[in-house]
Every structure is written in C-alpha cells, then in structure tokens.
Amino acid sequence: LPQAFTTDFRVHWAQHPLRPEFAESTYFLYKATGDPYYLEVGKTLIENLNKYARVPCGFAAMKDVRTGSHEDRMDSFFLAEMFKYLYLLFADKEDMIFDIEDYIFTTEAHLLPLWLSTTNQTISKKNTTTEYTELDDSNFDWTCPNTQILFPNDPMFAQSIREPLKNVVDKSCPRGISRAEESLGSGPKPPLRARDFMASNPEHLEILKKMGVSLIHLKDGRVQLVQHAVQAASSLDAEDGLRFMQEMIELSSQQQKEQQLPPRAVQIVSHPFFGRVVLTAGPAQFGMDLSKHKAGTRGFVATIKPYNGCSEITNPEAVKEKIALMQRGQCMFAEKARNIQKAGAIGGIVIDDNEGSSSDTAPLFQMAGDGKNTDDITIPMLFLFNKEGNIILDAIREYEAVEVLLSDKAKDRDLEMENMDQKLSENDSHKQDSEETTSASQDVGGVSEEPEEGENSDVTDPDPLAPAHADSDSVSISNQDSSVPGTDEAGAPEPACTQGDHQPQEQKTETESNPKVNWDNKVQPMESILADWNEDIEAFEMMEKDEL
C-alpha cells in the first residue's frame, strides 16, 4: 500500500517506508480471534516484502509503489517492530522464553510488564461476578464478515459503500478563492485548451503536469491522458485539469463521430520493385481525397528539410513536383501539409516517430486537421508507421531515385508492363517500316533487271525507268545497260552483267536475312519476360520475411 491514498483509491503519496502498523494489527487480530485467515495475511506480507523490498544488502524502503523503485534508507521501526510482530504472529508458545501475556506492547513495540499497572497489591479483589445471559454467538466466530453470505447476489455491495465516500474530501475541505477573484490580482494565464494541445510541446506538458494530467505514449503511436487531481499543484489547477479532460473527451468523441476513412496504399513502382511492394497507409481528413482520384498521385520521393516539416522548407528545389517525406511530431499535420504544398510538393508522406510501430500491430491511424479550415490543402497526405516508413527510406539509401504511387488501393502490380508494351508497339512499327523499305527496294531491283531481256527497246524507251529515279543503284545499272549498243567488244558487257548479277544476290541475301530479324523481334518479348522474372527475384530478396 502507498503511504497515503484518497477515498477514491488513488495514490496520494506513492512512497512506503515499510511501516509496521499493518503487521501489528494483523498480529493482534490473530491473537484475539485465532482466525487462520490472518496467518495467510502475514504470509502474503512476508512474500511481498521479499518480492518488492528485498535488496542485496537487506531491505530498503519503497520510493514509489507504482514503479517498484527503492530509497537508500531503512528506518529503525522496520527491525524493531515489523520483524517482531511477524515473528510473534507465527511463533508457537514453546518458542517464547517468557510468557508474552504478562507484558503489554507500547506503540514502538517495547514490552512493559503488567505489574507496573498494579497500584496496590495488598487490596483484595472484590467479587464482581454478575449474572450473564447465555447467547449463541457461534455465527460470529469469524471476525471478517463474508459479504457473499450476508448480502448474496449483490456484486455491487462494495461499490455501494465506496461510491458515497468517493468525493467526501472535496465536499468537506475548504475551497480556495475562485479564479474570478484571483484574476483581480496578478491574473493567471488562461488554461490550456484541448484543441491547442500538442504532445511534443514542452510548455504544454508542463501545464499538464501542474493540472495533474499525465501523458502516456502507447506502443501503437497513440497518446493517452490520465488525470490525478491529487497530483495537481493546487485546487484551481485541478479544476483546470478536469475542464481540459472534459474538452479532450468531447473532441475525441467528435472525431470518432466523423466519417472513418478506409486505409490508403503507398506503392513503390520504381526499379526493382515495379509495384510489388505495397505499404498500408493511414488517410488524412484533409487534402485530396484519393478515393475520388482513381489514378492516384505518382512521383519520386524526397526528404524535406527540416525533417519535421513544421517550418518553411529550406530545400524547395529538391521537393518541387515530388512527394515529400517528413517525420511526425512538433506540429499539426495540417501545418506540415501547408509547408510542403508551398514548396511545390505534389503529395506528402508522414512517417511515425515512434520507433518500431507497425500497421501489423497498431490500429489504423487517421490524421486529423488542426480545427481550422483546411480547404486550402489540395495535395494528398498519407501516414506510415515507423516500420513501413523505413522501407521507403532504405530504398532511397540504396537506389536514390524511388518512385511511389499514392492511391486509395493498390493498383495492378504489372504497371511497368504497360511501358514495355508501348516499347514493343514502337518496335513493331519500326519493323513494319523496315519491311516496307525492303520490299520497295526489291521492286526497284526487279525493274532494273528488265533491260537484260530487251536491251534495245528498254534503252530507247526510258519511261519504264522513270519511277526508279530515286534508287541510285538502278540508275547506275540502266546507264551501264545503255552503253551496251555502242560497244564492239564482246567482253565489255560482262562487268555490267556481273554487277547486275551480283546486285540481285545482295538483295536476296537481305531478303533472306529479314525473316531472321523478324524472328529476333518476336523473341524479344520472351527476353523481357525473363528480365522481369529476374527483377522479381531481386525485389523479393530485398523484402523481409514478415513483409512477404
């Protein structure tokens, strides 16, 4: 038990110097009743002393019973009284070297003989016997009443006794001067309003401490407020704390009544992930509604300076047209969004500052506004717990350029295949153009070979060769053919014929090689698929088992 507690069972003084009064009352109750229940109480007392007060050098007083911390002290009454009463509680009659009934204990457990109280030993005792009525008191052998028997089927019996006494101190103790009367003097600072409270502000925490309000950080990233009026600096501060807690409860219930948004997704779409890594993100009650923008917001991520985003961004050139990464804390979420929007960011991701937090173990976190009009915020904002945020930070450290997609739900994980299809379609169009060019050259080559069948007629009639003026090879061949009639040597035409014979062979070779080129183009998608598989393997190797 603490040194002092209130009527509503709250700790007032948390220390415990190992006072012996509880052991003393346990001993005398057992001596008077012989009820073995008190032996169990003594046993529990010894076990708890060894469990909580035992230290290597003996026993130490408790500094705070809530935390189990010790003080470097042990008062004399612990040995002089506590051990004495515990020994007598369990000692048998033969363990005593004298009759304890001949002595009486002082408040410090000193023994005084009973004969000291006898004034005159010679006076004879008067016969004071009186008539007594025999009563059956067997039902009262046990001194501790069993409420389950006396008040059956009444589980609220204990609470019905404690509830009327819960605020008995507040009703009976004199109250100080009112705040209105005090304001006539120096004028205290106005109390902290719930809507203005920030858990990262040291001044706000100091005000809460004066009001008896303690702040507890939970593992899931949330903050819990607990008020102990007895820990307030004054009764007026306790009233302010109560008013603050009421405002906070109303604000919390109001936020819960608001529409709960579903979780969002942060998808890493750059190499080597290509959309295969999807992180669960918390939505924001302000900014762009990603559920109404199916395409989402896609862009490269960049870390802002300062990292908390609570002041003007000092590296706007690195954030412009990108998705800003920032840390939670120091200011409201809406203020962070306004700062990065002013710097030119197209979106924002807030990473939890609570080390080890994860969406796997924590409930969905929803970023609320600052109580003001947030219509000026037009960019999307998402919240990532610490573990998911580190995945993006690790990817930035390894690959530098990391592109993500902010959306209401994960898109098709083969997003990059669309770009591959576009590249393939472009290759197909280039292939068709090359085939058309090859077929055109083959047609021209066929026309240039006609002079060999009728040299004189083809030379005198140049009209069939007119369409072939764009092909230099065919023009040169026709010129060579036109020189044949003016040549008397039999061997002169052979070079022209030889050149003419070789030219179709070269075109034929090119024509034969084209199917091979087309086959290579058809094999290319298979190579890209194999490359995708390799990228998949690299991405999976980077991911941890729990992410898989």
Q: Provide the annotated binding site.
A: 107
CB 266 within 8 A of CB 404: yes
Task: Specify the length of the chain in residues.
Answer: 548
Label residues 370-391 b or e (16+ Cβ within 10 Å = b).
Answer: beeebeebebbbbbbbbbbbeb
With residue 54 as reference, give the H or E element that holds it: strand 54-55
DSSP 270-304: STTTTT-EEEEEB-BSSS--GGG-TT-EEEEEEE-
Instruction: Give the annotated binding-site residues for Ca(2+).
Output: 107
CA pair distance 429, 421, nearest whole angstrom: 12
CA pair distance 246, 237, nearest whole angstrom: 14
CB 487 within 8 A of CB 390: no
3-state DSSP call for residue 385? coil
CA pair distance 356, 390, nearest whole angstrom: 10
CA atoms within a 13 Å half-sphere pointing along the CA-CB vector of 190: 4
Question: DSSP class of residue 130?
Answer: -
CB 287 within 8 A of CB 377: yes
Do β-strands 223-227 and 54-55 pair in parallel, antiparallel, or remain unpaired? unpaired
- Amino acid occupying residue 54: R
CA nearest 378: which of 332, 330, 342? 342
CA pair distance 9, 163, nearest whole angstrom: 11
Q: What angle do CA 177, 197, 222 make, to 5 degrees?
A: 125
With residue 202 as reference, give the H or E element that holds it: helix 202-210
CB 323 within 8 A of CB 300: yes
CA pair distance 268, 278, nearest whole angstrom: 7
CB 23 within 8 A of CB 42: yes
